[in-house]
Chain A
Amino acid sequence: MFLQLVLEELGHQVANLGPCVPDSLLISECLRLRPTLVVVSTVNGHGFFDGMRLISRLRARDELAATAVVIGGKLGIAGPGGEWSRRQLLAAGFDAVYEDGAASMVAFRSYVGRLTASVNG
């Protein structure tokens, strides 16, 4: 909800799929809506495993191979998982990874700004 408002205030249209979105629903909605950016927000501590599974299924679709997809929140059960899990998620196909914290929100807004500029330009 908070991220939806942030993105709307940055001038974007948002389709919020709500909590606990199954991979298949996210992929079908992406194929239907063809978004500029997919934001995956996770707090239950399974974000790393679920994120790895989701991104491989999503990137397997040709239509979504180049869509910008980012993930953020609490990714592991032991607090910020650090560089290793971030690299794994990036290598698996995410365009950016934001661990819970203040700096992440600033980085996220700046990423959205750059993405918008590149789309509009």
Chain B
Amino acid sequence: MSGGADTADSFGGFVACAHRAGRLVVQPRMGMSRPRDMRAGLLATKRANATTAGTITVDSYTRMGDHSAARAAVAARASLNGYPIVTYDRGVTRAVLDGVAEAGFPVQVRHGSPCPEAIFAALIDAGLHATEGGPVSYCLPYSRAPLADSVRNWTRACQLLARLRDKGLEPHLESFGGCMMGQLCPPGLLIALSVLECMFFRQHGIRSVSLSYAQQTSADQDAEAVLALRRLAAEWLPDVDSHVVIYAYMGVYPRTPDGALSLLAEAARLAVRTGASRLIVKTVSEAHRIPSVADNVLALETAAAVAAAERRAPAPGPVPDTGIYAEARALMHAVLDLGEDIGRGLRQAFQRGYLDIPYCLHPDNARKARSYVDEAGRLQWASTGAMPLHGVVQPAGGAELTASGLLAALSYVERKYDGASIKAGAVRQLPAADGGTDAAGELKGAM
């Protein structure tokens, strides 16, 4: 998207090169507890027929800073939900990466931690320099840590990572801000947070960043949001290397293989149409379990093929402006007007309810904002709480939230894609795909 760090062995440089060559970088989520399995997963990602970046996803004990639980699980040879990068000594992780991570295959560490310093230290020790998260996006949705602690921890972690620049490396940090809660957060707030977190990273010495945006409920609304995100990045981050990363839908995922793959294809088309550079994929087994390596390779290759086809398709028409850019800008100004220090601005903005994430139960979130999916399938505000959006957004107000109403909104995308898949199956008179028969209207046990 913009210049700056362009050395081939930096994560940002690799993505920029691929973007210039007209290739979308595709990347899985992947983390195994055993080093041998982790290495095999990275190699399979590298060998997939696509332009790929590798991922080491950290387990959730390490993510929460509970390193003794991670050590005990490794000692007991229990299967964790990710790679315990702090528990293994650096020789082990270097051996996992040896001959795998290189200029043409950068590896990013993904974690979800509000206290990421030990993880950053471990990844730097292992010779890596790309990771992701943010003081807000890795605190409010997934932890109980006070936002003030997370801001302090993330400040130190950014400074630690930024020191790699003294050694001639260009460390890369991605904001997870465009993925808050996975679903039901309206796009204006998502993109504002993505830009603000990247500005926070820059304030603490990082010069290569990516801005995330998670696919939501409407393709048109998503396209408008990503274009607005790129415009805001050009305005507010003109002096750093940056690119946009799209996440395939992160909410309740379709249960049918056809439904899951067509939702992923829609995300790949969104990325190409809006000039995004990288895509984090989801797999056919998303709704059922942690995906296998084969599931991930299928998803990477599917997304890459759809992206290549989309590049050959006629350019889409202009995207109408329904006000997402103005909404995001108003939210950003509310934070930036609180002072020079962006971390303090973010903290105060949440304290005062200027930023308010719908359906987020964290004690530092104001919990006054509510959202819904309208008849056209677009995410809208039902209530904006104390956010400074008067004259920018007209919240719908209205009906009290019910379990069935929330469930309908949470499962809107799943029903749309599974429904289409089942209907197509019936028209073709093929037997229903695995899981297809019980997909419609299924209740989800969690959220």
Where the two chains meet, the residues of A that have a C-beta atom closer than 8 Å to any C-beta of B are 1-3, 5-6, 8-9, 16, 18-22, 25, 41-46, 49, 72-74, 77-79, 98-102, 104-106, 108
Contact = CB atoms under 8 A, between A and B. Distances in A.
Contacts of A18: 144, 361-363
Contact of A6 (B141, B290, B361, B403): B403
Given A19-B361, A77-B80, 5 more contacts: A2-B403, A2-B444, A8-B403, A77-B290, A106-B443
B150 interface: no
8 smallest CB-CB distances across A and B, nearest first, come from A79-B289, A5-B403, A105-B443, A45-B81, A18-B361, A73-B446, A102-B442, A6-B403
B80 A100 contact: no
A2 B410 contact: yes
Contact of A2 (B59, B363, B406, B438): B406
A8 B144 CA distance: 23
Nearest to B79: A77
Interface string B415-446: 00000000000000000000000100011111
Interface string B142-171: 111000000000000000000000000000
Nearest to A21: B144
Contact of B406 (A1, A41, A42, A45): A1
Contacts of B438: 102
B61 interface: yes
B446 A100 contact: yes
Interface residues of B, number: 34
Given A2-B447, A16-B361, A44-B81, A74 B402 contact: no
19 contacts: A1-B361, A1-B406, A2-B407, A2-B444, A16-B361, A18-B362, A19-B143, A19-B144, A19-B361, A45-B81, A49-B73, A72-B446, A73-B445, A77-B81, A77-B290, A78-B79, A101-B442, A101-B445, A106-B443
Nearest to B145: A20
A41 B444 CA distance: 12
B293 to A, nearest CB: 13
A73 to B, nearest CB: 4
B43 interface: no
A76 B362 CA distance: 25
Interface in B288-313: 288-290
Nearest to B441: A102
Contacts of B75: none
Interface in B260-297: 285, 288-290
A53 to B, nearest CB: 9
B29 to A, nearest CB: 12
Given A1-B361, A100-B445, A104-B445, A20 B81 contact: no
Contact of B141 (A2, A19, A98): A19
A20 B289 contact: no
B359 interface: yes
B44 interface: no
